[in-house]
Every structure is written in structure tokens, then in C-alpha cells.
Structure 1
Amino acid sequence: MSVAAALGTQALIGVSPAHAAETSRAPIDLGVLPGGTFSDAYTINDRGVVMGVAIPADGAEQAASWDRKHRITGLGTLPGMDRSDPKGINDRGTVVGDAFPDPGYFRQAVKWDSRGRIAKLAAVTGFDYSRSVAVNDGDTVIGEAYDFSADYRAVRWNRDGTATLLPLPPGVYFGSQARAINNAGEIVGDVGNVPLRWDRDGHVMQLDTLGGGWSSPQAINDSGIAVGYGQDSAGRSRALKWDRQGHVTDLGTLGGAHSQAVAINAKGEVLGTSSTSDGTTVTVRWDSSGRITGLPEIDYPQAINDRGDVLGRTALWSPGGRITRLAPLADGEFADANGMNDDAVVGLSSRTTENGSVYHAVLWPLRKP
């Protein structure tokens, strides 16, 4: 096992300097489907297309998208299914997700092209059901196949529509999950608490651990650097970073025992959480050199963009320490952010009507640097 030195010294720990919080510009109401009263925006791609969900007049929640002019399209579901749930969007505008009946255990992985046309992803031999996780800019989709026996396997759906079961390491026979894919087609996931990476040809590599009972990578950038979390030999949950060779680094904490990493941007800046010496858990950001900064004003880490902005549920932290509170709609009481690109944040805001509160997808434009 090759384990890089942990970055846990006080010299590498910081707290974002306090700044007076600003309030964002008023969000743009992205609206709802005809006859509907609810929508929620999950994320936005680099071309400004938004992905989320909406409830039409018949009351069955479905995937939805909004184009750059903020026009909504209901993406629907497969024949015989009741609902759909989106999981990811790429810069081509391809959306992936699941179609399912009520109740939703029996899922079928699907994708919608940039024109909103739905297609069932190929069945996987030996498995009854499937669910998608993410899609890269080459239209390669990852997810899982599963069946009544509770067996599940990581799957890659190629751009030509064919499905490939991702191989397992020697001595393992079931239970793999794919977590993330980059634009080079590299996939990270885990099996039986063992962290894995698959290259674009499907060859599997077992990643190093800290000697604890489990590890799980959660994200990978286009440089092939993966982040996640795992247990060390003392039983503590630690934020981890893996290089291209599979060597692991403990990213350290803000003085507490535990930390987790959940996202990484193109520059190698990492988003996660850490406990402090008094047991409090706060959002943190590690820069590309491994310096950790606490962001106590960010209530829950949602995303980090390539500019280094960090998004929480109700606020945005920008490099330099500026905090921007996300305003609700003018007639609303609260706002809840979900995702962002370099130019905008998307999420949900309440609206007050004569019949009570309703909830609409919204977009907050970001200030240019």
C-alpha cells in the first residue's frame, strides 16, 4: 500500500476571513409546466441548459429542462411508467435519469437527447432493472444494473447504446457501484467497501486505502484526480484524494477527527466537510496544494465550480472570502440552491399566492470577476 503523507499540520489550516455578507441579485423564475405548481432546478451545464424536475397538471413528477432562454420542457417518461427522475446533464444537453412506476423500486435507466426525446438504455443480461448515475460530454453513461436477488453491478452504457458490465477485481463476484465519470471516460466507484477506478477500456484498478474498513471515491476531474472518503486504521472517516496511479492522500481536518470530500474542480480544488476540535462540522475547501480552509458561513456543501466558488444551500463563497446570500423570489420566503456552473446558480424558491405557498425553479446570475 502506498499512502501519501497526511496534510494535517496547523500550518496548512485556515479559516476564511470574515466579510459582510452581500445579497444576490433577484433570481429568475424559471416557471412551471402548464397547469403545474411545482418545479425544482438541480444543476446547469456549461452552456446554460438547466436540468431538474417539474409536476404537470396530472400530478406525476417528471424530469424537465430549461434552455438558455429559460423555456421549460417536460421530458416525460417511458410508456407504462408513471414518473422520471433526472441524474445528470452534459454539455451536449443530453440528460440521463430513471423512469419508474409508483412505487419506484423497479427502475429503468433512460436518456433524453438535446431535443427532449427519451430512449431506454440497453438492458443488461442477467439483470432485471437499471438506474443511471452520470453522463460525460462524450455521451457515455454510468450506473448500475440490479435484480430481485439484491445483486447489483456497475455498468457503462456506450455512446452507441451498448451496455458493458464493468469488471470486478479478482476474488469479488458482486456488489459494485459506479459513482462518477470524467470526460476521458475514467470511472470511479467501489465494491465491497474497496475503492476502484476503471479506465476508458474498462480495465479495473484497486485504489489504495488508509487501512480502515471502507473507502469510497465520489468524484473525478478530467485530469484523473479522484476524491472521496474512507476509514483510516483508527476508525475515523477521512477526506481522501487519489492520484492517477491510485495512491491515496489523507486531506486532513480542521482539528477534529473526521472529514469528507465530495467534489473536485478542474484546478484540483476540493469541496467537503470537516469536524473541528469542538466537534462542530463545517464546510471546507482544500486548494490544489492541500491547504484546508473552513467556510462556516456555507451551511451545506452543494458544488464547487472551476472559478473556485463554493455553493451551499443558501449562500455562495467566492475566492477572497466574499459571501453572497441567495435571495428568494420577491414574493417568497426562502430559497434553496442545488447546483451551479461558472456563471449561474440554480435551485428552488417559494412563492406566496392566494392559495398558499408554491415552489418554482429559479436561477441566480453570478457577478463576473
Structure 2
Amino acid sequence: MHPTITFLRTRGLAVSKRRTFARVLAAAAVALPVVLVAGTSEARTLDCLPVTDDWEYVEHDVAGYAVDVNNAGQIVGGLAQEPGSRRQAFVWQNGNLTRLPALTPQGEAAVRAIDDQGRVVGSDVYSYLTPEGVLWENGRARHLPGGLPNAIGKGVIAGNGVEKVGPPAYVLGKAMRWTGSAWTDLNVTRGSETIDANEAGQITGTHKIDTSAPHPTRQLAERAYVWSAGSVRELGTLGGGWSSAKAMNDLGHVIGHSGTATDHRAFPFLWTPSAGIKPLALDDIAFGAAADINDAGTIVGSYSCQGHSSSPSFPVVWTSPDALPLLLPAPSATLIDAVAINDNGLIAGSVWTASGPRLVTWRPKPAR
């Protein structure tokens, strides 16, 4: 995923693996998948990148969108809604879909992440002014009062609280960790947030280095960080004044976006403890966004070669941070997101059509 914890879907640069989307008009269904494989000739309107032949595109008959995937191949997301219906969260695996219950009969479940043990975190958004944190385990919803979870790794839950300050009054985030019975402040600077957690118990996020900065200028005063065993390490920038984290793998490698000294665009980066922060490969005028990274270092996200962030973008995969990404195969003339990848190379995403979203995956092909 945010100091006020809004649930929005954006295109182009602002791509995150932890997202909850607005209402869409479609009904949920589960059936056998339909496999569509796009060849290298299907480059659509993006002609600056080749299409990879290492993954195949699979469209599933699930009317919903993906948010996260774990190493067991379990995908969590949100089901599409009919007018007047409540938002529902799901876990999908091998054609089987399980709906996750809300905290109350009137609630709306919105998921954020799943760990390798199948535990899911998110929120009940029955009241949009006061959403409630939730942990789903063994099919049951558990209330996590006082904070909103963003990520979970091996039972370690990272989340955010809010703090109202002033005058003038505005809202600051508070990075926190669920310790089993209560939320504990990570003691990062005020105005901070968590974004992701890994199976080693590390947490990444974005912290505010100038807590006096009001909301409109907060991005210029932020840095990505990694929290580990009580200590906080700032990840730096690509030469500009700010950076923000998006996801991390179990090795503690972080992807995100940063400003540079000479360009106002947000550039995707990879940070590792040994090499520090470095930009992902882009064409000179391209825009790219990183969404997720697995332990092999494979990164999924979106890419546009048309020179501005509002131009159409397409799902891509970086197999090396030093090489340009490759287009993931997909049908032409569609709006498609790749939001998460597991250590087996399974990529989860969504195709957006006039009738609403549909779950898609990219399966790695066997080595030739």
C-alpha cells in the first residue's frame, strides 16, 4: 500500500503489489483457466521492447483482481462487485476459490498480503473513515485493533497507524509491527509507513525525514528504509531528494522508486545490502514502475516507452537490473497489471475489461 490508508487503483508509474481497488461491475465465478500465449510478434503499441518467451499467459474465469501471491501458488485479491454488493476478498489456488469473511456481516474485506504459511492480512472497510485491521488464519478473521496491516512474512505483520498533529492539522503515518497481541511502534521517524515484510522478519517502508513538511510536499522529504531486529537503515536515493519502497524479497533486497538529480521522473531502483541503490535499466525516455521482486531477483512491473507517465503501460519483467525489461505475453488492446511474483516464477495480475477485472497469471515455461 499510507498515512490516511486510502484504497485506490492507479495506472502508469504508481504501481504497488499491495492494492485494493474501487467498485467494479461484474460477478465472481470460478472455472477452468483459458490459456492464451502471445508470440513475439504481438508487441501491441509498445514497440521498444521484445516479448519474452519464458512465460505463458493464463486467463482464469475469476471475476476479480490479484493483490499478492505466495510460494505455494496461493493468490489473494478482491472479487468484482455488482451494484450495491459488498466488497469480498478471496484466496485462489489451482482453480479453487475461497471467500474470506469480514469481521462483521456488514463488513467489506480488503486484502493486502499473504505469507508462505497462507496467513492473510488486510482490513474490514465497512466504515471508510475507520477501517479495522484483520488477520485471516485457517479461514477465520481476527481483529487487529489500532492499526492497518500492509504486509506479512512468516507471521510478522507490518502495518500503519495514524497520528493527527497540528496546528495546522494534518495526518502523519506511524510504522508499526504486530507482536501477537498488540501493535508496537517501530520507532522510525514520525510520518513513516510500512510497505512490505519478508520471511526473515525484516520490514521495508518509507520514512519522513522532515516531519514539518505538510502533505503536498511530503514526497520531497521521504526516504526508503529497511527495519531489521530493531534497527533502521536508510536506503538513500538515486541522486534526488526522495525515495520510496515498494517490495522486498526474503534476502532483504528492496525495489522502489526515487527521484534523480537531473530528472523529475520517478525511476525504479533495486537496493541490496552489498551494492546499495542502483536504477533499473530503462530506455532514455521510458517510464517504468517496479511492483514486486522474488528471491531470484526477478522483478515485475510496468513499462511505457512513449515519453510520459500518462501514456499506456504494459506488464514487464526484469530478469536483470542491468538489462532492459521484457514484455510479458498478453492479448493485444487490453489493460493488464502484473502485481506479484513468487520464488517459483509464478506471476499474478489482472486484466481489466469493460465488464470488470479478471484474474490472470503468467506461468514460467519449462527450461528448454
TM over 0.5: yes
1:162 aligns with 2:186: no
Partners of 1:135 and 1:142 within 8 A in 2: yes
Higher RCO (CA < 8 A, seq sep 6+)? 2
Match of 1:121 among 144, 155, 167: 144
Q: CA RMSD in A?
A: 4.0
What is aligned with 2:235?
207
Cα 1:267–1:326, aligned 2, differ >3 Å: closer, same or farther?
Answer: farther
What is aligned with 2:148?
131
Q: Which has the larger radius of gyration?
A: 1
What is aligned with 1:309?
none
Amino acid at match of 1:66: W
Q: How many aligned residue pairs are there? A: 298
Match of 1:225 among 239, 253, 262: 253
* Structure 1 unmatched ranges of 5 or more: 1-14, 31-37, 124-129, 299-316, 318-322, 328-332
Amino acid at match of 1:188: T
Output aligned runs, 1:208-357, within 5 Å. 208-236=236-264, 237-244=266-273, 247-256=276-285, 259-272=288-301, 285-288=317-320, 290-295=321-326, 298=327, 317=328, 323=329, 325=331, 339=340, 341=342, 342=344, 346=348
Match of 1:29 among 58, 61, 72: 61
- Secondary structure at 2:161 match in 1: strand
- Secondary structure at 2:324 match in 1: strand
Amino acid at match of 1:206: E
Match of 1:87 among 112, 130, 154: 112
- Secondary structure at 1:234 match in 2: coil
- Secondary structure at 2:285 match in 1: strand
CA displacement 1:258-307 (0-9 Å, x = unmatched): 6543332212233445665955776665444x422243xx4xxxxxxxxx
What is aligned with 2:174?
153
- State TM-score, norm by structure 1: 0.66
CA displacement 1:184-229 (0-9 Å, x = unmatched): 1222211223324344312112222234221112122222221211
1:73 aligns with 2:110: no
Cα 1:326–1:347, aligned 2, differ >3 Å: closer, same or farther?
Answer: farther
- State TM-score, norm by structure 2: 0.66
User: What is the CA–CA distance in structure 2 between the aligned matches of 1:257 and 1:20, rounded to whole Å?
Assistant: 22
What is aligned with 2:206?
190
Q: Percent identity?
A: 25
What is aligned with 2:122?
97
What is aligned with 2:130?
106
Amino acid at match of 2:184: T
Q: CA deviation at 1:336?
A: 7.0
Cα 1:81–1:67, aligned 2, differ >3 Å: closer, same or farther?
Answer: same
Amino acid at match of 2:157: V
**Greater shift in the superposed pair: 336-345 or 183-192:** 336-345
What is aligned with 2:34?
none
Q: CA deviation at 1:45?
A: 2.4
Q: CA deviation at 1:112?
A: 0.3
